[in-house]
Amino acid sequence: MTRVGLLAAALVAAACGQGPAPVGPGPVGVGPAGTDGATADAAPISDDERLAAIQAAMNALAPLANQCWAAAAVDDFRLAGDLQLEIAPHGDGARVAVVADSAGDPVLASCLATVASAFPWPAVLDGQVVSLPFSFSAPSGQVVIDRRLVTPRTQAGVGVAVLLDERNSGNAAASMLEVTVAADASVALARADRAEVWIVLAGEVTVAGALGSDKPVFARVHDTVLVPAGGYRTLRASGGAATLVLVLAPGGPEGIARGGAVPGERVAPGTRVREARPIEPRVVRASDAAVHRAGGRTATVLVDSVRHKAPVGVTLLELAAGAAMPAHQHDRESELLYVQAGSATMTVGAVTLPVGPTSVVHLGRGTTHAATVDVPVRALQLYLPGGPEQRYASAAGRAP
């Protein structure tokens, strides 16, 4: 399903970022369909009733329009502008036309039109033509993104979806991609231009470096593949398709990835690498992870930045319903979350945001945040640089 189709089907989804609520103070105009606005017959319904119905519709449409902004802003959070819709309600739907659009984003315009056409317009507006304005201003950044809204691009059996980067979050500390590898397809051998952290979400991959290996090295669910900047890696799906999270540090606008290619300096088949002793990838096993349990929280430290001498700390975090994270901030580290299950209410600064089972979260250093779990949560939590995961690693084995 397309991003626009997903939103039109939902019609009730909450805003999934720090996008602004659209401003629609009232109708630009209202009148009978097919006329210039003059009343052809004595109308049993007053203009006040119609205006009240339009205002109620605008209030209901506001969060849906904000969700349309979120769908368009997965590419760039700086999306801003004004749109005007001309809407002719009829029966159980409406005919909708976009008559003005200074934002110039086809995803936003198409989404608004689709939502407005499917909206349950009040019967008092049947036969009328209503013009509604929507205004969007760009926020300073975006914290939560629904990955269902991100369209992957595929090349040679490898799909790449840019979940978080500098363009859609405003944070250049790290980027997060979701990479799907079809059965027997491979992420091509390449030299990493930044530190890479690959976490297996589903399936199994065979991992190799520039020198290859006589004995296959496998990475399975929640195993992590660490590739330092300048290191070489290739990953092949073995035994079926595989899905991985790839975190890059530092981040950036990820233009190559948005085109469907995994970042890195690709090595053409049959080409010798430049180094006599190239840096190889390293697999950190989930089966070796320290586990800490306390207070409705289970923290499985998949990558301990101290123990594994890694630039990142990675934890599989499981939280019971009702668990709360008090307001806090990390002065040195950026925090990324890939939510796999459950839901929570997160407060970032003074803004309250819903987080669901398809959310990704990017919290820049110094960002005050808190959360309360509504439905039991399972999420990958990454700190760049590592450090905060030590509160779990140091307590592992001593929890009740």
Note whether 295 and 229 are same-domain residues.
Answer: no
| CATH of residue 249 | 2.60.120.10
Kindly state whether residue 191 falls inside one of the protein's structural domains.
Answer: yes
Domain end residue (candidates: 87, 113, 136): 136
Answer yes or no: do 117 and 10 share one domain: yes
Same domain, 279 and 296: no
Q: Which domain range does residue 379 map to?
A: 289-393
In a domain, 398, yes or no: no
The answer to whether residue 330 sits within a structural domain is: yes
Examine residue 400 and state whether it is found in any structural domain, yes or no: no
295 and 281 in a common domain: no
Is there a domain that residue 399 lies in?
no
Same domain, 31 and 59: yes
The total of structural domains in the chain comes to 3
Q: What is the pLDDT along the chain (400 residues), one digit of tens a residue?
A: 444 443 433 333 333 334 444 444 344 455 555 544 444 454 577 878 888 888 888 888 888 888 898 888 888 888 999 999 999 998 778 999 999 999 999 999 999 999 999 999 988 888 889 989 999 988 877 899 999 999 999 999 999 999 999 999 988 999 999 999 999 999 999 999 999 999 999 999 999 998 877 788 999 999 999 999 999 999 999 989 999 999 999 999 999 999 999 999 999 887 888 888 999 999 999 999 999 998 889 999 999 999 999 999 999 999 999 999 999 999 999 999 999 999 999 999 888 999 999 999 999 999 999 999 999 999 999 999 999 998 888 776 533 3
3-state secondary structure the chain: CCHHHHHHHHCCCCCCCCCCCCCCCCCCEEEECCCCCCCCCCCCCCHHHHHHHHHHHHHHHHHHHHHHHHHHCCCCCCCCEEEEEEEEEECCEEEEEEEEECCCCHHHHHHHHHHHHHCCCCHHHCCEEEEEEEEECCCCCCCEEEHHHCCCEEECCEEEEEEECHHHHCCCCCEEEEEEECCCCEEEEEECCCEEEEEEEECCEEEECCCCCCCCEEECCCCEEEECCCCEEEEEECCCCEEEEEEEECCCCCHHHHCCCCCCEECCCCCCCCCCCCCCCEEECHHHCEEEEECCEEEEEEECCCCCCCCCEEEEEEECCCCEEEEECCCCCEEEEEEEEEEEEEEECCEEEEECCCEEEEECCCCCEEEEEEEEEEEEEEEECCCCCHHHHCCCCCCC
| One domain, residues 101 and 164 | no
**171 lies in the same domain as 233:** yes
**32 and 131 share one domain:** yes
198 shares its domain with 253 = yes
**122 and 215 together in one domain:** no
In terms of domains, do 79 and 160 share one? no
Residues 304 and 389 in one domain: yes
